[in-house]
Amino acid sequence: MLYEQYRKPIAITEFGADTIAGAHGEPAEMWTEEYQAEMLAGFLDVAAARPFVVGMHVWNFADFKTGQSILRAGGLNRKGVFTRDRQPKMAAHLLRKRWNPVV
């Protein structure tokens, strides 16, 4: 493991899941808001159990336009916890509860 080798704090960056806003599934399936929220919760849980993880950065704040490709419908990166027009996805509510439980 990286930490055992270097004994330095670790920050985890750019983790997330593409999500089509408004897509839902039970059980959670890829591209659904439930999938994104569950995946982020899993990352947070694993990191919380490791005291050497000192920070995390979810990728990305909001969906954004990117180049066209066969891997991105509509030329959008949909890993945001908010839509391109800044509407919260299920993941935004999850993060607010996890990081500010008083709200």
Q: In this predicted model, what pLDDT tens digit does every residue of 16-57 receive, in sequence order?
A: 999 999 999 999 999 999 999 999 999 999 999 999 999 999
Quick check: 1 pLDDT over 90?
Answer: no
Q: In this predicted model, what pLDDT tens digit does every residue of 42-98 receive, in sequence order?
A: 999 999 999 999 999 999 999 999 988 888 878 899 999 999 999 999 999 999 999
Q: Which of 98, 100, 101 is nearest to 38 (CA)?
A: 98
Q: Which pLDDT score is estimated for 2?
A: 86
Q: Which pLDDT score is estimated for 49?
A: 96
Cβ distance 79 to 39 under 8 Å?
no
